[in-house]
Amino acid sequence: MKKIGILGSTGSIGTQTLEIVRGNQDLQVVALAAGSNVSMLEEQIREFSPKIAVLWDEKAAGELQVRVADTDTKVRWGMEGLLEIAVMEEMEVLVTAVVGMIGIRPTIAAIEAGKTIALANKETLVTAGHIIMPLAAKKNVSIFPVDSEHSAIFQSMHGENRERVSKILLTASGGPFRGRTREDLSKVTVEDALNHPNWAMGKKITVDSATLVNKGLEVIEAKWLFGVEPEKIQVVVHPQSIIHSMVEYVDGGIMAQLGMPDMKLPIQYALFYPDRRPMEGKRVDFFALSSLTFERPDTETFKGLQMAYDAIREGGSMPTVYNAANERAVALFLNREISFLEIYDLIQGAMEGHKVVPNPSVDEILNAEAEAYEYINAHRK
Ligand code: NDP
Ligand code: MG
């Protein structure tokens, strides 16, 4: 029996992780956490009987506690609750599927406690990769990527000598606005941005896919996960999302992982690595597809990707500012307070105004986050 905890169990990745649990009798859920969704967490508690359930929101946790008083599940709230899950004695694997930088402290605590990490929460590595990767190495803890591209890269490196990697080819669908001009983008709505061609995901990451910030975050995530310098990470737009990423080796050979766009495969792979468990679902039909196509990303129009390379080059606390400014700007966009293109303006402004702190501690990362938020509060129109 493999005992897992899920941070973000009510979200897109969280609910798909629970589907994997339903399909594999030897997985047991010992902890669940979400933000404020009382009803869905109650249902999950009744189905999976975790030892602990956490809601970030204290009031919602109070309501949940009353609702599940007839069960054996203990209810907790806030960061304390997330940290309690992170270090739980009986948990072996922590699936980090919360959205945003809130994942940093629980991930660090879980690594300190020797837990295996199935990592979906890319914002954690983007901001704190310089703390998390050396800590995981020191504690001999494995971090298995859940993000589809990183899972593909990981699978394409299986059994290979990582020193022989010459390049990572990180694929991108291009999002719903691929091929549009800046002029077109000035008029897009929240609904347009949420209409992703291939993947059904949470709202924040769906907007990130439209701006290409998601790909920027993934370049930084890949740098930390695989220890590859950003110059060796090339983004390739591949609109069909069948090739989930590729690795080129020094002899020119390229290994790739292909499959239908379905997050359940990378989630399950992270939970059972190195095993490949059977999974139901549609298979790639090459005759129906007939062609796979590739393009160079339009970084002039979709500035989110170039800004990520700038953030890595500056290093230190700059990726945090890139990420935090984006988190806040996307929230404003989803709330219809700013336009799509203003997301870029706010990220760029926050980065320009930031003085880099080299090798930031967790507190310094959180300060950089707060500074980015202040910048945005002061500059939003
Ligand atoms: P969703 O928005 O669908 O879900 C987010 C989850 O986090 C929900 O369970 C939410 O709870 C919970 N949550 C939000 N705030 C807090 C908080 N303060 N404390 C505890 N829990 C909280 O996001 P996704 O599942 O799409 O994405 C999760 C992460 O995975 C992101 O980092 C994303 O970039 C990454 N990812 C997602 C992919 C996808 O296909 N969805 C693909 C690759 C990576 P509640 O419902 O109560 O708000
Ligand atoms: Mg991805």
Report how far residue 90's alpha carbon sits from residue 15's, in angstroms, rounded to the nearest whole number.
22
Q: Is the CB of 199 under 6 A from ligand 1?
A: yes
Residue 266's DSSP bridge partners are none
Pairing of strands 74-77, 52-55: parallel
Report how far residue 183's alpha carbon sits from residue 180's, in angstroms, rounded to the nearest whole number.
8
Ligand 1 atom at shortest distance from the alpha carbon of 147: 43
Nearest ligand to the C-alpha of residue 205?
A: 1
- What integer pLDDT is reported at residue 380 of this predicted model? 81
What's the CA-to-centroid distance between 23 and ligand 1, angstroms? 22
Low-confidence ranges of the chain (pLDDT < 70): 381
- What integer pLDDT is reported at residue 157 of this predicted model? 98
Sheet holding 233-237, edge to edge: 233-237, 165-172, 243-249, 254-258
Report how far residue 118's alpha carbon sits from residue 145's, in angstroms, rounded to the nearest whole number.
6
Beta carbons within 8 Å of 20's beta carbon, 6+ residues apart: 27, 264, 267, 268, 271
Q: Is the CB of 147 under 6 A from ligand 1?
A: yes
What's the CA-to-centroid distance between 33 and ligand 1, angstroms? 11
Q: Please, what's the b/e burial string for 241-273 (b: 16 or more CB within 10 A of its CB; e: otherwise)? A: bbbbbbbbbeeeeebbbebebbbbbbbbbbbbb
- What integer pLDDT is reported at residue 179 of this predicted model? 97
Sheet holding 27-34, edge to edge: 74-77, 52-55, 27-34, 2-7, 93-96, 116-119, 143-145
Ligand 1 atom at shortest distance from the alpha carbon of 121: 32
Report how far residue 126's alpha carbon sits from residue 219's, in angstroms, rounded to the nearest whole number.
9
Structure tokens at 274: 């190195």
Phi first, then psi: give them for residue 218, nearest 5 degrees.
-70, -30
Structure tokens at 151: 């899972």
Is the four-CA dihedral 248, 253, 257, 258 of positive or negative sign? positive
What's the CA-to-centroid distance between 199 and ligand 1, angstroms? 15
The tokens 């879980």 sit on which residue? 110
> What distance lies between CA 220 and its chain's CA centroid?
11
Query: What CA–CA distances, in Å, run from 304 to 194, 271, 300, 322?
Result: 17, 31, 9, 9
Ligand 1 atom at shortest distance from the alpha carbon of 37: 47
What's the CA-to-centroid distance between 202 and ligand 2, angstroms? 12
92 CB neighbour count, 10 Å cutoff: 15
Ligand 1 atom at shortest distance from the alpha carbon of 10: 9
| pLDDT tens per residue across span 358-373 | 999 999 999 999 999 9
Contact 230, 236 (CB under 8 A): no
What's the CA-to-centroid distance between 147 and ligand 2, angstroms? 5
* Short-list 173, 169, 171, CA closest to 253: 169
